[in-house]
């Protein structure tokens, strides 16, 4: 049987660092308040002229360079984002153009913070079907452009970044991406959403334009997030034919340190077996778990033969999990 393995990883984070102390000067908040409630100390903010596609391209370039993979041989490009440069063209097409990946199919996936695993699972199916042999999967979000910077409950949480992985089919059984889980809970869609001022489509005199921004019901979101993530890991592990004890490292979505701790407790997983980098980046939406995977591998926290669990939740509400044998 064919399997799908990860060949290489890449990432990109903007140069600008926005600390909690910086935010103290912008909104009514404190470093202590942010740290104790979220675990975040700083986040990266893209430059005004830095687009989401710019970050996606840089992450993709690193992944390809690490694998010494010719962009001309890419079969498929899937980009997970909810902060694309514009409604169309697809971000994947902009990446394709920049890489000169002329033979690749290209499309985007919108699943908010769960986007990377949704895109990874989608791309995997194309490879297992035999339609393609490889795929470039990218997660990129510029959350700073959809923040209400007067809302201290949301603007302290998010940052910008991108990550990419190159995957290909393999003849090695029981290796690579062993199992997948994706799930939707649309009944909770109002818990986190982007809203904007409505304008009548044909009204030419109405010049009011208000940029879309994030609104969130934090307390309500917390419980659903914890339960859906814990359930996702349990289901994915069962589908992979392993126990929770077999998992060497859980790499969760980096939304809130309290959520991460609650998920670990619910799974009975020791904190040292959970990878956390939220203090440096905040929530980068789709890019969060992808950059956490990149850093976990680079740091040596993930070793050859390890079973790792990737798990996420996002607006929608949607959740996802994957078990990977590294």
Q: Which residue spans within the chain are E strands per DSSP?
A: 3-12, 16-19, 42-45, 76-80, 105-109, 134-142, 160-170, 176-184, 192-195, 213-216, 247-252, 307-314, 318-325
User: Which residues, in sequence order, are bridge partners of residue 8?
Assistant: 166
Q: Which residue spans within 34-93 are E strands per DSSP?
A: 42-45, 76-80
DSSP annotation of 3: E
Q: Mind giving me the DSSP string for 240-280? A: HT--GGGEEEEEE--S-HHHHHHHHHHHT--GGGB---HHH
DSSP annotation of 28: S
Catalytic residue numbers read 113, 253, 283
Q: Is 255 exposed, middle or buried (0-12, 13-18, 19+ CB in 10 A)?
A: buried
Q: Mind giving me the DSSP string for 176-191? A: EEEEEEEEE-GGGGGG
């Amino acid at each position: 049987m064919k399997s799908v393995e990860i060949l290489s990883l890449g990432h990109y984070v903007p140069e600008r660092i926005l600390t909690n102390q910086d935010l103290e000067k912008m909104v009514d908040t404190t470093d202590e308040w942010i740290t104790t409630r979220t675990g975040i100390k700083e986040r990266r903010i893209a430059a005004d002229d830095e687009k989401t596609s710019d970050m996606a391209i840089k992450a993709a370039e690193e992944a390809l360079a690490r694998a010494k993979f010719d962009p001309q041989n890419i079969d498929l490009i899937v980009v997970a984002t909810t902060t694309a440069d514009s409604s169309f063209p697809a971000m994947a097409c902009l990446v394709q153009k920049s890489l000169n990946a002329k033979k690749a199919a290209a499309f985007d996936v919108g699943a908010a913070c769960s986007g990377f695993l949704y895109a990874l699972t989608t791309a995997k199916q194309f490879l297992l079907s035999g339609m393609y042999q490889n795929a470039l999967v990218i997660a990129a979000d510029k959350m700073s452009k959809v923040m209400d910077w007067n809302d201290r409950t949301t603007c302290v949480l998010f940052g910008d970044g991108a990550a990419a992985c190159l995957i290909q089919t393999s003849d090695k059984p029981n290796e690579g991406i062993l199992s997948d889980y994706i799930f939707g809970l649309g009944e909770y869609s109002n818990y986190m959403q982007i809203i904007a001022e409505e304008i009548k489509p044909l009204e030419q005199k109405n010049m009011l334009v208000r940029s879309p921004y994030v609104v969130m019901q934090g307390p309500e979101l917390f419980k659903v997030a914890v339960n859906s993530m814990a359930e996702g890991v349990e289901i994915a592990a069962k589908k992979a034919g392993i126990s929770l004890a077999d998992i060497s490292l859980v790499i969760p979505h980096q939304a809130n340190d309290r959520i991460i701790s609650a998920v670990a407790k619910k799974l009975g997983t020791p904190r040292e077996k959970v990878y956390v980098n939220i203090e440096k980046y905040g929530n980068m939406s789709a890019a969060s778990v992808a950059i956490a995977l990149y850093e976990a591998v680079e740091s040596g926290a993930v070793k050859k033969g390890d079973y790792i669990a990737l798990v996420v939740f996002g607006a929608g509400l949607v959740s996802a999990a994957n078990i990977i044998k590294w």
